[in-house]
Copies of this chain bind each other. A is one copy, B any other.
């Protein structure tokens, strides 16, 4: 059975490998809910609802059954109980499962991974509800990022692993050449996975952040312990359940993938990642804990991703209205809780050039505030854009931002017509001077947008560069019609080790994983090194051991 899975999915794998090479837009996982069977949405919602108010059954080693910090930002009751893990026990179970999986043929492992992705895609609606109700994402975003876009990334990781494993040199024969030599040598290389991979789940995009590391680890022969963020357990519990079923069906020990849930009173993330047997750690979340892991999990290969500070730098535009609409939308989507959400717009204090006319800073800033206000004027539409606030600390950030400068637009409370218990706030838009760095150069998550008056575009780039070096950045959005400014912005981004998007028009949004998913850490600044495009994202998960036979 296991061997057949590769053959079953080989066509899909080939297409994915081809797309990696050509950069073409291709996905076997449709991003439109309408592309699925018409019964799928209701069935998925039903499966989700059936999970609530009862224990989540997983036949794996656990200490007890209990609740986590899961709470719906939309105000519905979840009340799911999970098996609670003991770090040593779950690590022992993972190590037990390792040898058989590590020794399986690479194609067999790849086939199993592809089957898991395929089965997960059948759960996309169910997972969408689980993501929505634990992270506060709007439904469509939860469906797309939690389902198809996350699966795209998982498939990309499997395809990249397949390519990397295919590059391990095959056996070579050496004939004796020297005077004192005799016979032949055969040299070959064997892949040695690192061991147990620990994946710490994110609280915002649990599946999207989890799949690349999880599937790259599995495909290269490691076993995996998935430790969800306590605020968003259900999506990854469904993922682990699905993976374990596939492993079992394929004749492998299901403990190749284990779920490690903890309680707020006894967190185990630190114990798991510093465990001597933890050989790989994947983490997406706040910079502080990321740094803690890098310092303390020296025994492991560590992949981290934080958000940093991702500024917009406006110099000059052809279409002021369109650009401002774009920025309003980017700042409002999912209440600014995406890791790539811009929270800082840097503009020269003497204004910007818009199709030849000078627009003063104040006017541009107020237009941006007005665009946010207009976009979110209607409660129903606002609810669809904003989703819900995922935790109370974000409310504190909104209030703090309002104290930090001149409020151009106050945050307002929105009533969600479907979920009366939802916590929904619109962005606060605040004008500050560039010198007031303490106010706007911080890692922020939530509906907060600072419009910052700088001395010039060169000064904007300088501020962005310093922020990237000290706090990290995933991407800069730069708007300029001047080729020289574009070139100097590109060089400044390269120097700062930050990816850059120039004149990104409204049509392309950051929810398109295929186009923008890679605009994540480059490894060259403090946001971390979990860069899917970096060959090391896969190759650091295994070693090669040489074998020489003389005969």
Q: Which residues of B contact A11 (CB under 8 A)?
A: none
A187 at the interface (CB under 8 A from B): yes
A374 at the interface (CB under 8 A from B): no
- Complex interface residues of chain A between 19 and 36 (CB less than 8 A to chain B): 22-25
Q: Which residues of B contact A182 (CB under 8 A)?
A: 505-507
Contact with B along A320-335 (1 / 0, CB 8 A): 0000000000000000
B540 touches A192 (CB 8 A): no
Closest residue on chain B to residue A175 by CB atoms: B25
- Complex interface residues of chain A between 512 and 551 (CB less than 8 A to chain B): 512, 515-516, 518-519, 522-524, 531, 533-536, 539-540, 543-551
Contact with B along A342-359 (1 / 0, CB 8 A): 000000000000000000
A sample of 14 cross-chain residue pairs with beta-carbon separation below 8 angstroms, ordered by A number, consists of A169-B533, A176-B507, A178-B507, A192-B494, A475-B546, A493-B545, A501-B547, A502-B547, A522-B545, A522-B546, A523-B543, A524-B543, A534-B543, A539-B539
A503 at the interface (CB under 8 A from B): yes
**A294 and B104 alpha carbons, distance in the complex (Å):** 33
Closest residue on chain B to residue A20 by CB atoms: B169
**A176 and B416 alpha carbons, distance in the complex (Å):** 32
Q: What 5 A-B pairs are tightest by C-beta distance, nearest first?
A: A23-B172, A181-B507, A499-B546, A501-B548, A524-B543
B181 touches A504 (CB 8 A): no
Closest residue on chain B to residue A182 by CB atoms: B507
Given contact pairs A522-B192, A539-B534, A539-B535, A501 touches B174 in the complex (Cβ within 8 A): no
A73 at the interface (CB under 8 A from B): no
Contact with B along A386-414 (1 / 0, CB 8 A): 00000000000000000000000000000
Q: Which residues of B contact A551 (CB under 8 A)?
A: 503
- Complex interface residues of chain A between 137 and 188 (CB less than 8 A to chain B): 164, 167, 169-170, 172, 174, 176-178, 180-183, 185, 187
A56 at the interface (CB under 8 A from B): no
Nearest Cβ on chain B to A88's Cβ, whole angstroms: 20
Given contact pairs A503-B551, A535-B167, A546 touches B518 in the complex (Cβ within 8 A): yes
